[in-house]
């Protein structure tokens, strides 16, 4: 059921929620948290609500979606309430803020929060550089961003590394769970040798590749090379160097990986990219600080990026241009 309440107030929204609960017999006592979603556009809004609805089957919650309308319009709040089949195991409240209210999301959200329940804020698009200092982030015990959805993913990840506060996390990190599990399990097999170095290959603007390399650098305490490629999307391969030969996990197609290591048969592993729904479900399972994610952010500063090799012809051309420039200046 979807109920539209144009030009409404938070008080009227609360009254309508109470009326719907009394009429339909639904209660909010089973809600374990309040999930605040800061959406940027309509397409993003619907995708985020769908992911939250699926996540609500494991984490029943009140979902409050904050969307910005035209800033030049008269100040008003257009509200919408979704319950039943249109809200999974949650109750969804959509707030579209117009005019000066577009920058007052925190004030609109506070009256609708569940009492004594944890608050999680999620930015499914380009989130703030410092989530804990954002007005909606200040409300939350847990703040979820997605660097991959930013216009400049690597720059966004670096900014969040500088501003990290307990409770921050990123879906680019959550997408690594299967990769990390496979690499750790590979180290549990013989021969039991020390890792001497590592390399991680992936798309140039893949924040997940950066975080995986940072995690390896921080925990293995060895040099890690971050190799950029244009041959595939996301993470392509990981190589862990050992005296007897490397452990290699290669995923060229974004779906299936191949794990090879000395003394062990080659294994094919399902490594399909995780969608936002699965990542959100995982993140909502914990509200405490993610110390492993924090360590991976710290490891970003330990990475080395090999310089691109210049061909002989290119080098000769560059030398001629440099000589001609010097002659002109002379």
Average pLDDT on 280-293 reads 95
The domain boundary residue, chosen from 126, 146, 171: 171
**Is residue 55 in some structural domain?**
yes
pLDDT at 307: 54
pLDDT at 181 over 70: yes
Assign 163 to helix, strand or coil.
coil
**Is residue 320 in some structural domain?**
no
Its sign, for the CA torsion 211, 216, 222, 223, is negative
Cα(278)–Cα(280) distance, rounded to whole angstroms?
A: 6
- Name the DSSP letter for residue 320: H
pLDDT at 22: 80
Number of domains in the chain: 2
**Considering only 83-87, 116-120, 238-242, which range has the smallest mean pLDDT?**
83-87
Cα(67)–Cα(316) distance, rounded to whole angstroms?
A: 55
**How does the average pLDDT of the chain come out, rounded?**
89
- Name the DSSP letter for residue 56: T
Domain coverage including residue 224: 177-304
Looking up residue 298, the CATH number of its domain turns out to be: 3.30.360.10
The reported pTM is 0.88
Q: Are residues 226 and 253 located together in one domain of the fold?
A: yes
**Region of residue 221 (left: phi > 0; alpha: psi -120 to 50; beta: else):** left
Q: Are residues 145 and 276 located together in one domain of the fold?
A: no
Using DSSP bridges, classify how beta strands 264-270 and 256-261 pair: parallel, antiparallel or unpaired: antiparallel
Q: Are residues 23 and 107 located together in one domain of the fold?
A: yes
pLDDT band at 26 (very low <50, low <70, confident <90, very high): low
**Is residue 318 in some structural domain?**
no
pLDDT at 329 over 50: no
- Name the DSSP letter for residue 276: H
- Could you tell me the CA-to-CA distances from 169 to 203, 220, 302, 321 in Å, in that order? 21, 22, 20, 47
């Amino acid at each position: 059921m979807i109920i539209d309440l144009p030009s409404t107030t938070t008080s009227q929204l609360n009254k309508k929620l109470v009326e719907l609960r009394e009429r339909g017999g639904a209660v909010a006592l089973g809600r374990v948290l309040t999930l605040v979603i800061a959406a940027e556009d309509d397409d993003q809004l619907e995708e985020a609500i769908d992911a939250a609805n699926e996540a609500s089957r494991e984490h029943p919650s009140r979902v409050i979606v904050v969307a910005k309308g035209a800033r030049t319009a008269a100040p008003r709040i257009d509200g919408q309430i979704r319950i039943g089949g249109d809200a999974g195991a949650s109750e969804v409240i959509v707030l579209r803020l117009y005019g000066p209210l577009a920058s007052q999301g925190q004030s609109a959200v506070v009256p609708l929060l569940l009492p004594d329940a944890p608050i999680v804020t999620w930015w499914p698009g380009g989130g703030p550089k410092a989530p804990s200092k954002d007005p909606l982030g200040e409300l939350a015990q847990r703040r979820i961003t997605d660097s991959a959805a930013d216009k400049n993913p690597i720059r966004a990840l670096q900014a969040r590394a500088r501003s990290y506060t307990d409770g921050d996390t990123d879906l680019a990190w959550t997408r690594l769970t299967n990769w990390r599990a496979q690499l750790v399990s590979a180290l549990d097999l013989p021969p039991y040798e020390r890792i001497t170095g590592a390399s991680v290959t992936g798309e140039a603007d893949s924040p997940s590749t950066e975080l995986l390399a940072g995690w390896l650098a921080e925990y293995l305490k060895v040099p890690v090379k971050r190799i950029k490629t244009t041959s595939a999307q996301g993470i392509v391969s990981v190589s862990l160097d050992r005296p007897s030969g490397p452990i290699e996990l290669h995923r060229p197609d974004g779906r299936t990986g191949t794990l090879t290591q000395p003394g062990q048969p080659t294994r094919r592993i399902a490594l399909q990219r995780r969608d936002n729904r699965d990542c959100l479900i995982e993140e909502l399972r914990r509200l405490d600080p993610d110390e492993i994610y924090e360590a991976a952010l710290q490891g970003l500063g330990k990475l080395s990026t090999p310089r691109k090799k210049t061909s002989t012809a290119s080098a000769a051309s560059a030398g001629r241009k440099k000589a001609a420039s010097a002659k002109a200046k002379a």
